[in-house]
Structure 1
Amino acid sequence: MQDITQNIILALSNRADAVEARLDKLLPPVATAEGEVVEAMRYSALGGGKRLRPFLVMESAALFDVDPEQALQVAAALEMVHCYSLVHDDLPAMDDSDLRRGRTTVHKKWNDATAILAGDGLLTEAFAVLASAKSHPDAEIRLELIAELATAAGSAGMVGGQMIDLSPDRSKLDLAGITRLQALKTGALIRYACEAGAILGRAQKEERAALRLYAEDLGLAFQIIDDLLDHEATPEETGKPTGVDSDAGKATFVGQLGLEKARARAEALVASAKSRLDIFSGKAQLLREIATFVLERRS
């Protein structure tokens, strides 16, 4: 298990470095008056995070021998959307967090207005990146990438999940309700990450379906581990405040299942996720290992 862990940590680090360099290139500093919001965008997008979603884009694309430069471009666009969501999620009107990825949140470092604009800027720029021929030479492929990301990030995906999360009825959700909430809020972008590689690679229907099912299992396991870390980890480990959901009285997987059953559920989901990749044989080894990493992570 240790060899697998070290292997995936190295792979994650290499992909994260590539994404960091691409984001730095896509979000250059600006010396004119609007440069302040660009600096806030850069602050939120650069210098931190596991880059799990970009990793999934690049590794799913590798299954189909996609040009790594195209996969990296799409991975960077997705990370912009993810970072926008974190900036807005931290705002006083949402989770009101002071810490993200071990650093001061954007609205605390600047102000609420700048944080809102920085998030808006990242979201909008992501679609410009996908629209570029650098993402794929075929305009139909680019259009599908754009349409699928819009769905994953919008009211039928992440934004819809966030709305449920903010609802007064959030504390009353049963297990099915929590599962649906997290499938939207967290799972939608993880599903997109895996399907983006399939879109880039013009995958067969069965291959794309396998990646989607893998992503659904992985996304749910990721959120269950998040709930466990909220109870068991320290802010120093996670890089953000802990105990937030439980203190707010929100229904969580841990609250519904308890610690032991929640962890057992995450383990079963990871085993299921790995089995979804059998269609790809040995080519999907890093995707299998990232599932183990998600289960064992402490941040």
Structure 2
Amino acid sequence: MFPAEEELFDAIRYSTLAESGCIRGFLILEFSDLFNAPFGDALEVASAVEMIHSFSLIHDDLPALDNSLERRNQPACHVAFSESTAILAGDALLVLAYQLLSHYGSGIIQDASKYVLEMIVGQVHDLKQEKVISSSEINVMKTGALFALSCSCIGHLCNRANDDLDILRKFGYEFGRLFQAVDDITDDDAGDYPCKTLNKSLECCRKMINTSFMIQKKAILSELLDYVTESVLPPR
């Protein structure tokens, strides 16, 4: 391997192996257990989704976008390496993720394309700040889309019916709203609006857990909701 290639893969490892909750991958593995999916396949799909997430973070942190200097308690990729290396590391992660997902059929690839594009368009709206769509809609596009992908991937992997896929996608979107609302409240970003979103999405997620096939995973999914919201809500 040439030195330039070593730097590229060092940047990829630096970003993907940094401290992270890997919540998107966790959701995939939990739903794979619910549907009795082969663990190795689920782990590969979970890894691909986490790679897509890392790609988005590397690019979001770039000077041309959010210009963030730190990510996951360490210098951002473009700070630790270089802007050009960070761009290429993000590109490579997206390609590698699609390479992994391609093992599992066209349905996963179609959903990945749909939700990754939605995430990118959400970032465009966030940067432009033209107020043509609400901040809530932008958050759904930027954060909810990748959670929807996480949940739909396992449905495709297990050949679930379209109705089940729709439930999984909806849960992913609502979980994404919840996740973003917690982040906004922690950052004191937007007054009382995130609190209203959080309570509504939390209620919706709990209802879906209790009234669908997800009830079989009620305990662990409820614990996950509590874990995500523990910094902003009192213990139940």
TM-score, normalising length from structure 1?
0.72
**Following superposition of structure 1 onto structure 2, how do residues 35-46 of structure 1 map, counting pairs within 5 Å?**
35-46=6-17
Kindly indicate whether the alpha-carbon contact (under 8 Å) linking 2:34 and 2:216 is maintained by their aligned counterparts in 1: no
Structure 1 residue ranges without an equivalent (≥5) = 1-29, 133-140, 232-245, 247-253
Match of 1:93 in 2: 64
Q: Any idea what the Cα deviations from partners look like across 1:252-289, whole Å, max 9, x if unmatched?
A: xx2xxx23x53243123112112112222233432232
Q: Which runs of 5+ in 2 are unaligned?
A: none
**Map of 1:145 onto structure 2:** 108
**In structure 2, the residue corresponding to 1:186 is in which secondary structure?**
helix
> Is the alpha carbon distance of 1:192 and 1:297 closer, same or farther for their aligned partners in structure 2, counting shifts above 3 Å?
farther
Q: Secondary structure at the match of 1:39?
A: helix
Contact 1:77 1:130 in 2 (8 A): yes
Matched-pair contact (CA < 8 Å) for 1:213–1:276: no
- Alignment counterpart, residue 124 of structure 2, candidates 163, 171, 189: 163
Determine the structure 2 residue equivalent to 1:292: 226
Indicate the SS of the match to 2:159: coil
CA contact (8 A) 1:98 1:108 kept: yes
CA deviation after TM superposition for structure 1 residue 151, in Å: 1.2
- CA deviation after TM superposition for structure 1 residue 97, in Å: 0.8
1:45-194 to structure 2, matched below 5 A, reads 45-132=16-103, 141-154=104-117, 157-169=118-130, 172=131, 177-194=134-151
Aligned length: 230
Aligned-residue identity in percent? 33
Residue of structure 2 in register with 1:21 after alignment: none
Identify the range of structure 1 (82-91 vs 53-62) with the bigger mean alpha-carbon deviation: 53-62
Is the Cα–Cα contact under 8 Å of residues 54 and 79 in structure 1 kept in the other structure?
Answer: yes
Once the two structures are TM-superposed, the CA of residue 31 in structure 1 deviates from its matched residue by 5.9
**Comparing both chains, which one has the higher relative contact order based on Cα–Cα distances under 8 Å and sequence gaps of 6 or more?**
1
Q: How far apart, CA to CA, are the structure 2 residues paired with 1:123 and 1:90?
A: 16
The Cα of 1:32 is off from its aligned counterpart by: 4.9
TM-score by length of 2: 0.90
- 1:129, 1:207 → 2: CA distance? 23
CA 1:178–1:168: 2 relative to 1, 3 Å: closer
CA distance in structure 2 between the aligned counterparts of 1:147 and 1:192, rounded to whole angstroms: 10
Q: How far is the alpha carbon of 1:53 from its aligned partner?
A: 0.7
Q: Give the ranges of 4+ consecutive aligned residues of structure 1 lying more than 6 Å apart after TM superposition.
A: none
Work out the CA distance in 2 between the residues paired with 1:146 and 1:284.
29
Please state how far the C-alpha of 1:297 moved relative to its aligned partner. 4.2
Cα pair 1:213 1:273 within 8 Å, conserved: no
Q: Give, in whole Å, the separation in 2 of the partners of 1:46 and 1:78.
A: 14
CA distance in 2, matches of 1:288, 1:205: 24
Counterpart in 1 of 2:158?
Answer: 201
Deviations 1:96-127 (A, max 9, x none): 11110100011111111011011111111111
